[in-house]
């Protein structure tokens, strides 16, 4: 008789229970299936105890049992897939080896797919009639998780994570290529995809009693599952709607939004008269200089990724930087940084951990460079200009935006120096505190995944910062980028026909722009609009005889030129690179491994 039903038991370090679990499974299957019509597969996932030997012995002694071994940890989801692809049955079943779900439900689970025509069947601990002995510390996160899945992913099921499921072989294999998670969220992702594809899914109440430690796992439940829900929400809800037409319309709205944001944080009537008298040639020169800084940003980003082991073209990276900075301008909390990590992942197959690490390196060099520039100029001003000591009184009596800007700038500058020192020291240390910190919070298998990701992130950061050659090369690029940023501001400043000695003009301009850029690092407003202008105009007024409205007008125009050019560059980049997320996902699957070396 051919095998009709394959039952997979995912096993990781189950030496004390696996023999009993297999025996109970065989006994239950024999109670309602003909002999020879079923098989039990122990999917042993890189165990480091005696589970492999025990499973192998059981398989040698029992014809209905097979042992599928993996030398390395695949994760729960991938271990199930690995075993299912090696099974023979048309009805594929799995349940947790602790047998938390009462085995009296196994016949209903199997027959729902085998004879009733359902494509997927799953037990539920939250349906009416279910009996689930769950402590409050487990039931609350579980209910919250399932509520979010229903809300964001459109699922109609009550319980997505119950480890008691059956599938039609053809239906499951049609879904697996789309499923990305390798760990605990695999269960949920399969169920959501099945519903989206129109497969028949049966959910039925079960009796369930936890076995062993049932404490809430912080890493898995909060970080792991939550991030996976957001990933699937993006894939199901946002991604299909991002077309070329939507991109063009969205770009136009971004330009409008950038202009609108300026009017929210800056009173346009305060500076409009001053702006009318500005020399357009100087403004155009400032815009041209600012545009020249963008290829340098792409080159610097290329150098950072190159140190991490990823080679790609400068123009693509310049476009990616444009797109991310546009996101940071319009949306607070630096959402654009995540957008850039997504773009390089989808288009160049650079892992998220490395993408975010490259951004962290870029931010550190930005802050360190700006801090160094502002500190150097400040020392020069302190030696030659007695007005420098008025900054203390300005913190008590100046405008709110100016006071906030100075406080933020000082704090960010100190943090940048400390962060750089910390990274350099950690790069020279052999100690690994990341894994110990994660495992102190969680002992779950998902913690290994989180720890590996964080270690990759830290390693990528240290790779760049610990190399003297890379440090100098990326640092020089940063100095060039921010020098052009300052030159842009000086040209805009000059457009207002300001009569100042050249040395004062340049030194005050450098200091004002540097402090303004430090002030806008924290996402207190989109792209620091308001903070930049406050810091810039306050410093100009303190160190020069320039009137407040003129200084504010110069700062506003300088920031507006930079923001509008950034948005335009971001829109053009989305069109030139055709960064439709749907296309990006499709193209990312065609990238060969050699392209990421």
More reliable by pLDDT, 74 or 245: 74
Position 215 pLDDT exceeds 80: no
pLDDT > 80? residue 590:
no
DSSP string, 98-118: T--B-GGGHHHHHHHHHTT--
Strands 131-132 and 65-70: unpaired
- For 334, how many CA atoms within 13 A lie in the half-sphere containing its CB? 12
Query: 167-181, 202-216, 440-454, 467-481: lowest mean pLDDT where?
Result: 440-454
Q: What is the pLDDT of residue 376?
A: 77
Give the pLDDT confidence score for residue 423 in this predicted structure: 57
Return the closest-CA partner of residue 121 out of 94, 87, 154, 153: 94
Q: Which of helix, strand or coil describes residue 278?
A: coil
DSSP 72: S
With 0-12 CB in 10 A as exposed, 13-18 as middle and 19+ as buried, what is 24?
middle
CATH number, span 5-239: 3.90.550.10
Three-state SS for 204? strand
Per annotation, catalytic residue among 45, 119, 159, 187: 187
Whether 168 is catalytic is no
Which residues lie below 8 Å from residue 155, measured CB to CB, with a gap of 6+? 149, 191, 192, 195
Q: Which of 405, 401, 557 is nearest to 489 (CA)?
A: 557
Residue 286 has pLDDT above 80, yes or no: yes
Q: Give the rounded percent of residues in the chain with a pLDDT score beyond 70.
A: 68
Q: How many residues does the chain have?
A: 597
**pLDDT tens-digit map of 230-282:** 777 777 776 666 555 655 565 556 555 545 544 544 455 555 656 677 788 98
Contacts of 456 (CB under 8 A, 6+ apart): 351, 353, 354, 357
- For range 1-10, the mean pLDDT: 89
CA distances, 490 to each of 90, 189, 289, 508, 510 (Å): 73, 54, 11, 10, 8
Q: Where exactly are the structural domains of the chain?
A: 5-239, 242-596
The values of phi and psi at residue 101, to 5°, are -80, 130
Residue 190: closest CA among 168, 220, 217, 223: 168
Burial 386-417 (b: 16+ CB within 10 A, else e): eebeebeebeeebeebbbbbbebbbebbeebe
Output the CA torsion sign for 116, 118, 120, 122. negative
Residue 488's alpha-carbon distances to 272, 326, 533, 539, 563, in angstroms, are 20, 19, 15, 17, 12
β partners of residue 342:
none
Q: Can you tell me the mean pLDDT for 79-96?
A: 91
Terminal alpha carbon distance of the chain: 49
């Amino acid at each position: 008789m051919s095998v009709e039903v394959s039952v997979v038991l995912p096993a990781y370090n189950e030496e004390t229970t696996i023999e009993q679990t297999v025996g109970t499974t065989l006994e239950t299957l024999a109670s309602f299936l003909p002999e020879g019509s079923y098989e039990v597969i122990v999917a042993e996932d890189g165990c480091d105890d005696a589970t492999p030997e025990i499973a192998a012995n059981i398989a040698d002694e029992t014809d209905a049992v097979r042992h599928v071994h993996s030398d390395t940890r695949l994760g729960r989801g991938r271990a199930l897939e690995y075993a299912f692809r090696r099974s023979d049955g048309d009805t594929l079943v799995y349940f947790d080896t602790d047998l938390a779900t009462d085995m009296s439900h196994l016949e209903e689970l199997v027959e729902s797919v085998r004879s009733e025509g359902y494509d997927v069947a799953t037990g539920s601990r939250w349906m009416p009639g279910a009996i689930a002995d769950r402590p409050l510390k487990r039931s609350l996160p579980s209910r919250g998780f399932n509520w979010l899945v229903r809300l964001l992913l459109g699922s109609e099921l009550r319980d997505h994570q119950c480890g008691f499921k059956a599938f039609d072989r053809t239906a499951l294999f049609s879904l697996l290529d789309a499923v990305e998670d390798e760990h605990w969220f695999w269960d949920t992702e399969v169920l959501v995809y099945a519903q989206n594809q129109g497969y028949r899914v049966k959910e039925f109440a079960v009796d369930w009693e936890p076995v062993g430690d049932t404490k809430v796992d912080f890493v898995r439940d909060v970080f792991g599952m939550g991030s996976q829900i957001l990933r699937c929400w993006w894939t199901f809800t946002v991604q299909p709607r991002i077309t070329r037409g939507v991109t063009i319309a969205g770009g136009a709205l971004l330009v409008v939004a950038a202009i609108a944001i300026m009017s929210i944080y800056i009173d346009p009537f305060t500076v409009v008269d001053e702006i009318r008298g500005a020399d357009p040639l100087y403004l155009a020169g400032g815009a041209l200089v600012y545009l020249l800084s963008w290829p340098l940003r792409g080159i610097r980003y290329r150098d950072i990724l190159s140190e991490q082991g990823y080679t790609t073209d400068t123009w693509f990276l310049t476009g990616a930087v444009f797109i991310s900075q546009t996101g940071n301008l319009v949306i607070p909390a630096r959402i654009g940084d995540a957008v850039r990590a997504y773009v390089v992942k989808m288009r160049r197959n650079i892992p998220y951990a490395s993408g975010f690490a490259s951004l962290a390196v870029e931010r550190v060099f930005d802050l360190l460079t700006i801090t160094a520039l502002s500190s150097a100029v400040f020392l020069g001003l302190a030696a030659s200009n007695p007005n420098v000591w008025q900054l203390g009184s300005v913190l008590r009596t100046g405008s709110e935006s100016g006071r906030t800007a100075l406080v933020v700038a000082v704090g960010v500058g100190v943090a940048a120096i400390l962060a750089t020192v910390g990274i350099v020291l950690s790069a020279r240390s052999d100690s690994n505190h990341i894994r110990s910190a994660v495992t102190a919070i969680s002992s779950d298998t998902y913690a290994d995944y989180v720890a590996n990701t964080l270690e990759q992130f830290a390693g990528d950061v240290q790779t760049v910062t610990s190399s003297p050659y890379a440090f100098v090369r990326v640092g020089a690029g940063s100095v060039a980028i921010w020098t052009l940023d300052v030159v842009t501001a000086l040209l805009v400043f000059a457009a207002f026909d300001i009569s100042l000695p050249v040395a004062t003009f340049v030194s005050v301009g450098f200091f004002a722009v540097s402090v303004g850029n430090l002030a806008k690092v924290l996402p207190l407003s989109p792209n620091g609009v308001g903070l930049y202008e406050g810091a810039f105009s306050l410093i100009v007024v303190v160190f020069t005889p320039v009137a407040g409205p003129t200084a504010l007008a110069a700062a506003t125009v300088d920031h507006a030129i930079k923001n509008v050019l950034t948005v335009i560059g971001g829109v053009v980049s989305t069109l030139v690179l055709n960064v439709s997320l749907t296309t990006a996902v499709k193209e990312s699957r065609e990238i060969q491994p050699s392209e990421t070396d």
